[in-house]
Chains A and B, each alone.
Chain A
């Protein structure tokens, strides 16, 4: 199975800050990388697919980059509703696998 490793595991930031979350795959996955966030008590929500394509309806402050094994999610200016847990997911091969999550907290 492809292992996905996110960093950091937690992050404190303020409204208006720019934040970056990293995700590394244990083998090359091309651009087959998705990002989700999950608010407490809610189901995950797709933000970014194919490493850098923003899902319809997702604000433009979210962006993704990378290919191969190293990927990045960037939030350009944090809003209160962005404080959540973020997951990366590889969609290159089954079983689809996820990173362990990055909890973004208010500073």
Chain B
């Protein structure tokens, strides 16, 4: 199983952008896709989008169209998510998580520690 380590907490102003990164502890994501999810304070979980690092193909929830960019550097074992046009509703704990690509069943089976993103003027 791949262990994921995320970048540190961020405080951003409304209208700005944030970049959060997720690194594979062993240096490679192997056969896993990586998804990004978030959890607003006291709330449930929301899927933002994901990428298959070995192919570089990304997709995202329609809600985030035009605002999110997910990229992978497979050789460095790093996936990054950029979220732009931030508002207070984007204040949340952001997680990356692995999805096995060699299984017929989609799951989020290993998670990073989370990155708190706070939007404040």
Chain A interface (Cβ < 8 Å from any Cβ of B): 32, 34, 36, 43-46, 49-50, 53, 55, 87, 89, 91, 94-101
Residues of A within 8 A of B44 (CB): 87, 98-101
A96 CB contact (under 8 Å) in B63, B106, B112:
B106
Contact A50 B59 (CB under 8 A): no
Q: Which single residue of chain A is at the shortest CB-CB distance from B113?
A: A43
B82 within 8 A of A: no
Contact A49 B45 (CB under 8 A): no
Number of B residues, CB within 8 Å of A: 20
Contact B109 A55 (CB under 8 A): yes
Contacts A43-B113, A46-B109, A91-B107 known; 13 new A-B pairs at CB < 8 A: A36-B108, A43-B95, A44-B108, A49-B105, A50-B105, A53-B105, A55-B107, A91-B105, A94-B61, A95-B61, A97-B47, A98-B46, A101-B44
13 contacts between A and B (CB under 8 A): A32-B105, A43-B112, A46-B108, A46-B109, A49-B107, A49-B109, A55-B107, A87-B45, A89-B45, A95-B62, A96-B47, A98-B47, A100-B44
In the assembled complex, the Cα of A84 lies from the Cα of B113 at a distance in Å of 17
B114 CB contact (under 8 Å) in A36, A43, A98:
A43
B29 within 8 A of A: no
Q: Which single residue of chain A is at the shortest CB-CB distance from B42?
A: A101
Residues of B within 8 A of A46 (CB): 107-109
In the assembled complex, the Cα of A55 lies from the Cα of B108 at a distance in Å of 11
Top 3 closest A-B pairs, CB basis? A43-B111, A91-B106, A95-B61
